[in-house]
Structure 1
Amino acid sequence: MANINTSAQDRTFDAIVIGSGISGGWAAKEFTEKGLKTLVLERGRDVKHLKDYPTTNKYPWEFPHGGQIPEAIKEEAPVVSRCYAFKEDAMHFFVKDKEHPYEQDKPFDWIRGYQVGGKSLLWARQTQRWSDYDFEGPARDGFAVDWPIRYADIAPWYSYVEKFVGISGNKDGIDNLPDGEFLPPMELTAVEQYFQKFVKDNYKDRHVIYGRCAHLSEPQQIHIEQGRVQCQKRNLCQRGCPFGGYFSSNSSTLPWAEKTGNLTLRPHSVVHSVIYDEKKGKATGVRVVDAKTKEMTEYYARVIFVNASAINSNLILLNSTSSRFPNGLGNDSGVLGKYFAFHNYRATIYADHDGHMDVTTDGRRPTSAYIPRFRNVKKQETDFLRGYAAGFDTGRRKWNSHDGIGKSLKDNLFNEEMGNWYVGSHMMGETIPKEISQLTLDKDKKDEWGMPVIHVNIGYDDNDEKMVKDFHEQMTEMYTKAGFTNIRTGDSKQAPGLDIHEMGGARMGKDPKTSVLNKWNQLHDVNNVFVTDGACMTSTSTQNPSLTYMALTARAVDYAVSQMKKGEI
């Protein structure tokens, strides 16, 4: 990639992208493909596909602690160690809590991965489109503000990114979960198929489907051109995939952008703020603190995309102050940092299944079944707003164990006796963006790079509690009718954040008085700055959000470039 020298000319680009994760990688791909010299700034270290996956091919016995995290490390990292993927094989892709402080005005687990590729190396890879039931939700239900777009605006961009990413799925024909451009699905288990048929036969508005996922079940030519091959179903995805079997910035968009010759990637670059020129009435560049030397340098471009992940994107905009914008860049509305939201993952339910004893599972699979939202879809039918989706996973218990020594250990390991099936679901509930749920900057505390420490003030409300209760009631009813036994409900009471689906703060909207971004993800008040990561979201829906970030990013870049050609930017 291009070397960066110290002259202003060599620090000037057509486009600057802040962040190299899922949305930043897409911005880089789209800008460079369209011929723009593009600088991608990443605050963490470089991670190159294949070269920088140190554990990807290790055997279980090669991990000193059997894959688990020692207590000493957990004590040093009390927040990040609560993440499901923070294990011995992937902990090098997570930040260390003590090195990156933040203030929890209410308990909030902020899970971060500061490296090239960001959390695209770690995401759960579930990909569902939104529908008009989601985009029209705020206007219909009276919360947040109206989305400035509808499904028709983003549908072709969903198709565009799905073809490049590679999404395994079925054409399910569900109006509140639109179909996409799918590769063949992997197989549901016998019990998942049983429950799928049971729900179809007994509930007209409920569905059990294959969980659509960003895995190459049958690579197409576009994926082969990326250097990616078929998913091997190793289920070691958080280590980084040497096959490129699942989508990440590292295996896909960034190498694609690099091939154009238009990409300059600068790791170890902590973006301090966006530079606003009051005479020109636009942004001219960004201030960057070198993560190693702590020296500040300015870089310049005609257009700037902020894709630092939801909280950090809010932090950068709030920290970008000037006489024109004393409260943060583009913050004439005063809502920047407010109306922050997340997904509620607290509720779970488990049960046993005594049937299908003549079959079991074989091999691994990087997804499971999925139950799309069925509450308050076409009409308000509960005492809470919005609804929830759910996972549905099954398996067969095996009685082998690691007990014993010598022959008894060997016998236990190879014991082929099997027990009954287990089933389980977790809730992914939509939370309501509220003005009191906000991100603010500490006036006095700064981190070692001179950035203000951010305060996170967000929590559950009565709507969330009612939703948890309804999930338990509805799923218990469905499990009971399906003949499942020993039903057990759970509420983890976990703090917001472990969903890793933080959204909002720089929301899209029609009215500049109540939103930060317009329908093109463009700041209402600064037309050459765009935000297309989770910070842009007006509401959260129940679907996993990454596919929507990618589609919004590709759409916004296309618009930005067209405006640049017209001389509007």
Structure 2
Amino acid sequence: MADNMHYDAIVVGSGISGGWAAKELTERGLKVLMLERGRNIEHLTDYVNADKEAWDYPHRGSPTTEMKRKHPVLQRDYPLNEPTNGMWADEQDNPYVEHKRFDWFRGYHVGGRSLLWGRQSYRWSDTDFEANAKEGVAVDWPIRYADIAPWYDHVERFAGISGARNGLDILPDGEFLPPIPLNIVEKDVAARLQKAFGGKRHLINARVANITEPKPEQNRLNCQYRNKCWLGCPYGAYFSTQSATLPVAVATGNLTLRPFSIVRQVMYDRDRKRATGVEVIDAETGQTYEYTADVIFLNASTFNSTWVLMNSATDVWEGGLGSSSGELGHNVMDHHFRVGAEGRVEGYDDKYYFGRRPAGFYIPRFRNVEGAPRDYLRGFGYQGSASRQGWKREIAELNIGKDLKEALSKPGDWRIGMTGFGEMLPDHANRIALDGTVTDKWGLPVLAISVELGENEKKMRVDMQQDAVEMFEAAGLVDVKPTESDYAPGMGIHEMGTARMGRDPATSVLNQHNQVWDAPNVYVTDGSCMTSSSCVNPSLTYMALTARAAAHAVESLKSGDL
């Protein structure tokens, strides 16, 4: 335990946004305490499965019956497997209540889901920041692209985003390292789509936080095309708290990291209208501590940061700190996906590729950007890839034996597939709240979640499938089939909203600098701050907002505003 109980700043959470908060605040000279509710994971030494192959696991990577019993929510999708077992929150210790199905996949350890994320990294556009105001949806964002563009530059240069400059207004270019190349089939399909749709639809290199050139100043080597990112990278090739932001924060000498620290509440001085610190439960001993600070950054992930606010200052506001607008806990969003198309590509049987890329292609949003408006608002993009089938493919014509073995030692057909990622509108009815009947291992109230897709999203999903089929057929693919599999909110692992930014304290929780209206020395810069969801992956925007807010906090401390 840290001896000092007072710090210039406290950062709650150590995931993508928490790591950025710690880096920026310590580099600017503040003494910072970072609190993480789970265990520590040391860079390199604690990546215990990073070099294992499927045959190194007792069940070849598949989840066991016991794992499914312990993780009834996690087993609904791919995150439950032997390689990442133990990297997700223990559902027995950390339950939640589903009033409507919501698949909440949590990473309770140092680094959080920065060790487990998909690394897709895209900027928002002017269209995204302006949409709410133009369409009369929810409330207006208090910022525009111009406000955050320099901070996108800042975080991209440090994190290392590989991508190509495509010159598209709907998907602004950034400060990129060379892209992870498209394979030959993807390149040719991209050209066919350009021709078939008159240059209105674009298949481009995915933009990902995997570095393609070394960053020796960060002790990070370029991607080795192992595609084992979710196991922790021994080369530091993908951006995570452990590989990038945490080492910088530690090197300043200004950071104290305290794992196994569950923040129960932000302490609040009702006379000064300022937060004074946080109350912490030691997750191992159950003992309670109080730490004080001049500024607090909540980066515990969307729902957990909101949970902390709901538990804070309840003697002043029944709904907790930041609840005076009536919006705290509301407007939950995710990206809906798992609907698209697949097909077979002929004419490339003499072509193959090198390595296992950690990324494929991306098709940026085109609906409600070009052409006639649809019967729904906003739009979607696609993520996908082309590859040759491997030994796992089914061959109905062959039985076991020599012929089968020889056939399966050769690559199969080229196939290509993609799934749409659609924007979900903010809706006051989609919410989280404290449940009064269930508690966790530490006797703390848990969250009850009530979220569902609206009619807008359901209409959009029709186009997400039909457009995918149309594009693949236009590109000359054969055996094109629409695809759709089970989806429930949360499965995108992009939960957002619940403490939105806005222009008016009567309708929002945070101001234009991510400060809680009711306590300006509390900043919230994880996914809970989002006012809308766009259709692109949100983590790059969390990074930029966090760096921007940290600079504002330090300047405000210097000026005496906080």
Q: TM-score range by the shorter chain?
A: over 0.9
Relative distance call for 1:452 and 1:479 in structure 2 (3 A) is same
Task: Output one character per residue of 1:467-500: Cα deviation in whole Å (capped at 9) or x when no partner.
Answer: 1111111111111111112122222232111100
Relative distance call for 1:408 and 1:362 in structure 2 (3 A) is farther
**How far apart, in 1, do the equivalents of 2:349 and 2:504 lie?**
59
Task: Output one character per residue of 1:130-170: Cα deviation in whole Å (capped at 9) or x when no partner.
Answer: 00010011111221211000000000000100011001100
Match 1:542 to one of 535, 544, 550? 535
Partner of 1:165: 159
How far 1:359 sits from its partner (Å)? 1.4
Between 480-489 and 336-345, the greater mean CA deviation after superposition: 480-489
How far 1:235 sits from its partner (Å)? 0.6
How far 1:328 sits from its partner (Å)? 1.0
Task: Output one character per residue of 1:517-544: Cα deviation in whole Å (capped at 9) or x when no partner.
Answer: 1110011121100000000000000110
**How far apart, in 2, do the equivalents of 1:24 and 1:546 lie?**
12
**How far apart, in 2, do the equivalents of 1:401 and 1:493 lie?**
22
TM-score of the two chains, using structure 1 as the length reference = 0.95
Matched, 1:215 2:213: no
Match 2:63 to one of 69, 79, 92? 69
Match 1:352 to one of 312, 331, 344? 344
Match 1:270 to one of 258, 262, 266? 262
2:24 partner letter: E
User: Is the Cα contact below 8 Å between 1:400 and 1:416 reproduced in 2?
Assistant: no
1:206-285 paired onto structure 2 within 5 Å: 206-219=201-214, 223-285=215-277
**How far apart, in 2, do the equivalents of 1:513 and 1:544 lie?**
29
Match 1:457 to one of 450, 465, 471? 450
Partner of 2:520: 527
Question: Identity, % of aligned pairs?
Answer: 48
User: Is the Cα contact below 8 Å between 2:71 and 2:90 reproduced in 1?
Assistant: yes
How far 1:225 sits from its partner (Å)? 1.6
Match 1:497 to one of 480, 485, 490? 490
Matched, 1:559 2:552: yes
Relative distance call for 1:519 and 1:75 in structure 2 (3 A) is same
How far 1:378 sits from its partner (Å)? 5.8
Matched, 1:303 2:301: no
Between 412-421 and 33-42, the greater mean CA deviation after superposition: 412-421
How far 1:568 sits from its partner (Å)? 0.4
How far 1:360 sits from its partner (Å)? 2.0
Matched, 1:332 2:324: yes
Structure 2: gaps of 5 or more residues: none
1:275 partner letter: M
Task: Give the match's secondary structure for 1:199.
Answer: helix
**How far apart, in 1, do the equivalents of 2:208 and 2:406 lie?**
32
Task: Give the match's secondary structure for 2:520.
Answer: coil
Structure 1: gaps of 5 or more residues: none
Partner of 1:429: 422
1:29 partner letter: K
Matched, 1:50 2:44: yes
**How far apart, in 1, do the equivalents of 2:92 and 2:441 lie?**
11
Match 1:441 to one of 429, 434, 447? 434
Match 2:106 to one of 102, 112, 129? 112
Partner of 1:384: 376
Match 1:205 to one of 200, 214, 232? 200
Partner of 2:508: 515
Between 96-105 and 256-265, the greater mean CA deviation after superposition: 96-105
Structure 1 runs of 4+ with >3 Å offset: 398-403, 407-411, 413-419
Between 28-37 and 345-354, the greater mean CA deviation after superposition: 345-354
**How far apart, in 2, do the equivalents of 1:433 and 1:244 lie?**
36
User: Is the Cα contact below 8 Å between 1:85 and 1:238 reproduced in 2?
Assistant: no
Relative distance call for 1:401 and 1:151 in structure 2 (3 A) is closer
User: Is the Cα contact below 8 Å between 1:132 and 1:151 reproduced in 2?
Assistant: yes
How far 1:411 sits from its partner (Å)? 7.9
Between 505-514 and 411-420, the greater mean CA deviation after superposition: 411-420
Partner of 1:288: 280
**How far apart, in 2, do the equivalents of 1:20 and 1:378 lie?**
40
Partner of 1:4: 2
TM-score of the two chains, using structure 2 as the length reference = 0.96
Q: Number of residue pairs matched?
A: 557
Task: Output one character per residue of 1:446-485: Cα deviation in whole Å (capped at 9) or x when no partner.
Answer: 2122321101110112111111111111111111111112
Between 229-238 and 372-381, the greater mean CA deviation after superposition: 372-381
Relative distance call for 1:379 and 1:402 in structure 2 (3 A) is closer
How far 1:96 sits from its partner (Å)? 2.2
Task: Give the match's secondary structure for 2:383.
Answer: strand
Relative distance call for 1:410 and 1:304 in structure 2 (3 A) is farther
**How far apart, in 2, do the equivalents of 1:560 and 1:272 lie?**
23
Task: Output one character per residue of 1:371-404: Cα deviation in whole Å (capped at 9) or x when no partner.
Answer: 001111267710011111101211112457799x
Relative distance call for 1:511 and 1:97 in structure 2 (3 A) is same
Partner of 1:469: 462
